[in-house]
Amino acid sequence: MRWLRRLGAVTVFGCALASAAQEQGAWRAVSKTARGVTGDVGFGGEKISINFSSFPVAQIRELQPAESAAVFTNDGSAAGVGNLFRTSIPANKKFLSKNTLCGSEETQWIVSYVVGKQLQLAFFSGAAMPVFTVDALGSSTNLCGTFFYVR
């Protein structure tokens, strides 16, 4: 009986790591905004690399399908995995063409959505955790931009 509980705990822990691992690796910028602002990105361990600069990330939680659909306007039927990350990217950090991620505000949140070999990222400013509903995002001033990448 004790081994069964251990197996269950290992399985739950392994699933949590697998959902966070979906983003791991190098991603090539595809969308116009990604090519013009971030360039290629990479996730590794507890860091995200953007245009050869690394920043800390910590996974906060996995998103529900409806939350991912609200952020990335997908229909919610794709078998993707979305995650919310906490980060700290200074407002004055310049990327491609001297662009910043969130204008004059620090980037504090990253939302990812991975389907197969496709990655979408959304960057948010503000200390408060973003609310992931269509209504809340429609009136949000904290959503800095969405970006699309592939492997």
Rounded Cα distance between 37 and 149, Å, is 12
Q: What are phi and psi of 103, to 5 degrees?
A: 65, -125
Q: What's the token pair of residue 10?
A: 């290992």
What's the pLDDT tens digit per position in 103-146?
999 999 999 999 999 999 999 999 999 999 999 999 889 999 99
More confident residue, 78 or 102: 102
More confident residue, 66 or 18: 66
Residue 39 burial (C-beta neighbours within 10 Å; 0-12, 13-18, 19+): middle
Model confidence at 22, pLDDT cuts 50, 70, 90, reads: confident
CB count, 10 Å around CB of 10? Answer: 10
Model confidence at 45, pLDDT cuts 50, 70, 90, reads: confident
What amino acid is encoded at 121 in this protein?
A: L
- For domain 2-150, the CATH architecture is Beta Barrel (2.40)
Could you state, in order of their start, the residue ranges of all structural domains in the chain?
2-150
CA 52, 56, 62, 63 torsion-angle sign? negative
Q: Percentage helix, strand, coil, to 5, in the chain?
A: 30, 40, 35
CB count, 10 Å around CB of 17? Answer: 10
